[in-house]
Amino acid sequence: MRAVILSGGEATRLRPLTCNVSKVMVPVLNRPFLQHLVSYLKSHNIVDITLAIGRTSGQVESYFGDGSRFGASIRYSTESVPLGTAGAVKNTERLLNSTFMVFNGDVYTDIDLTAMINAHERSGAIATLALTPVDDPTAYGVVETAGEGRITRFLEKPSREEAPSNLVNAGVYVLHPDILNYITPNTSVMFERDVFPSVLAAGATMYAYPSHAYWIDIGTPERYLSLNHELLRRDFGPRGLQFEGEHDIHPSAQIEGPVLIGKGCSVEGDCTIEGPTVLGQGCKIREGAVIRSSLLWQGREIDRGARLRNSILASRCYVGEGSLLNSSVLGDNVMIGGGTPLPQNSKIWPDGSIPPSPLPH
C-alpha cells in the first residue's frame, strides 16, 4: 500500500506562518506536522510514501531525506505549477500500479486506516472516502450516501439548507488505479469538484467510510493552534510538563501544564507559563513575562513584563517589554516594541537540519 500526501498547496490561509515555511513543516509539538503524519501512516504499516510537493520542496527534502530515519521510504513528486489535488496524484501515476491511499497534507486525524482499507477491499469500489462530522458543513465538501454507504452525490461548500448531512469529505481516500483514467495529465484538476463527480456520472461505485475519530484541518492559524492544544492535553495530561533538553528555569517561575519546553529555553524569575503552551527551541522568557495558551516557534524573546495569550509566534520574533498580545499571529522576524533581532544562525527545527530563511526586505 502506497500513500500519496498532497502537500503542494500555497497554504495562503495559514499565512503569515507559511510565508517562508511549507505548511507540512509548521511545527506541531516542536516537530514538523508531516513527521506526525508519517508516524500515523507507519502505525498502520504504510511506509511507502510519495510527497506531492510544490515550491518549498527543498525544505522538506532537507529534513526528511529518503525517510529512512523515520522508518519509511519517501519519494518526491515536484510540481512546477499547481496541479490541484487530483492533478498532483496523476503526476505520480508511474508509481501507482495497485490500490493506494491519498491524504490531504493539512489534515490530522486518528481514523482507523487499517479498517478503512479492509472495507474498501470488501466493497470492490473504485474509491472509498473517509467522512467526518463537522458542526458547520458549509466550508467543506459534503457527501451524500445511500444504503450501505454508497456515495450518490457531492456538494462542494453547500449552504446549510442544501447540505444533506454534516458528514464532509475528510481528505483521506483509498483509490483503485483505474481512477487515474478520469484525470487529465498536466492539468490542474481537483478530486472534489472534477474527478469524483465524473466517476459517479460514469456509473462507477464509490463508498463512504464514516468515522467519528479525531479530525482537524489545520488550514487556519486558529485550527493549527487548536491541534497543538489538543495534542498537549492528550499526550501530557491536564497538568503535564515536558522538557526536550537542557533548559534554565528560575525557581520562582510558575509553570502550569500542559506545557512543552524545547531545548535551550530559559525562563527568568517571576514568569508565568500556563498551558496548553509550547515553547520552541531557544526561547528566552524574561522576568515577569506571562504566557498563556500560546505556541512559540524557535528563537523567540519575550521581554520583561510582556503578556501573551492565545497567540502564535513564528521564528525569531521579539516581543518588547510590557507588550500585550491577545489572539495574535506573528510571522518570522517580527519585532513588537523595538529591540534587537536574535542571531541569524539560529535553526528552525529542533535537530538543526534546516537553516533559517533570510530576513524579508
Closest CA to 11 of 66, 53, 63, 45: 53
Indicate the Cα dihedral angle 329, 334, 335, 340, nearest 10°.
Answer: 150
Closest CA to 107 of 122, 129, 125, 127: 129
Q: What's the Cα-to-Cα distance from 7 to each of 26, 103, 110, rounded to whole Å?
A: 12, 9, 19
- Residue 55: the pLDDT is 64
**Range scoring the smallest mean pLDDT among 136-140, 152-156, 343-347:** 343-347
Average pLDDT over residues 68-74: 94
Q: Confidence class of residue 29 from pLDDT cuts 50, 70 and 90?
A: very high
The residue with greater pLDDT, 327 or 347, is 327
pLDDT for 345 beyond 70: no
Q: Confidence class of residue 359 from pLDDT cuts 50, 70 and 90?
A: very low
Residue 47 burial by Cβ neighbours in a 10 Å radius (0-12, 13-18, 19+): middle
How many angstroms separate the CA atoms of 183 and 127, rounded?
14
Average pLDDT over residues 229-250: 90
Q: Do 196 and 155 contact (CB within 8 A), yes or no?
A: no
Three-state SS string across 109-131, please? Answer: ECCCHHHHHHHHHHHCCCEEEEE
How many angstroms separate the CA atoms of 87 and 27, rounded?
27
**What confidence tens digit (pLDDT) does each residue in 142-170 have?**
888 887 889 988 887 878 777 777 888 89
Q: Which domains does the chain have, with CATH numbers?
A: 2-219 (3.90.550.10), 233-336 (2.160.10.10)
* Sign of the alpha-carbon dihedral angle for 145, 150, 153, 157: positive
Average pLDDT over residues 8-17: 78
- Residue 343: the pLDDT is 44
How many angstroms separate the CA atoms of 26 and 37, rounded?
12
How many angstroms separate the CA atoms of 328 and 127, rounded?
41
Q: What is the CA radius of gyration of the chain?
A: 22
- Residue 56: the pLDDT is 59
pLDDT for 340 beyond 80: no
- Residue 351: the pLDDT is 37
Q: Confidence class of residue 355 from pLDDT cuts 50, 70 and 90?
A: very low
pLDDT for 124 beyond 70: yes
Can you spell out the DSSP letters for 141-195? Answer: EEEEE-GGGBEEEEEES--TTT-S-SEEEEEEEEE-GGGGGGS-TTS---IIIII
The residue with greater pLDDT, 71 or 300, is 71
Mean of pLDDT over the chain: 87
How many angstroms separate the CA atoms of 291 and 193, rounded?
43
Q: What's the Cα-to-Cα distance from 258 to each of 42, 110, 254, rounded to whole Å?
A: 27, 21, 13
Model pTM? Answer: 0.86
CB atoms within 10 A of CB 54: 21
**What confidence tens digit (pLDDT) does each residue in 93-105 have?**
988 989 999 999 8
Phi, psi of 180 (to 5 degrees): -65, -20
**What confidence tens digit (pLDDT) does each residue in 259-307 have?**
999 999 999 999 999 989 999 999 999 999 999 999 999 888 899 999 9
How many angstroms separate the CA atoms of 57 and 21, rounded?
10
Instruction: Assign 236 to helix, strand or coil.
Output: helix
Q: Confidence class of residue 338 from pLDDT cuts 50, 70 and 90?
A: low
pLDDT for 344 beyond 50: no
pLDDT for 57 beyond 70: no
- Residue 261: the pLDDT is 95
- Residue 117: the pLDDT is 96
| Consecutive H or E run containing 229 | helix 221-236
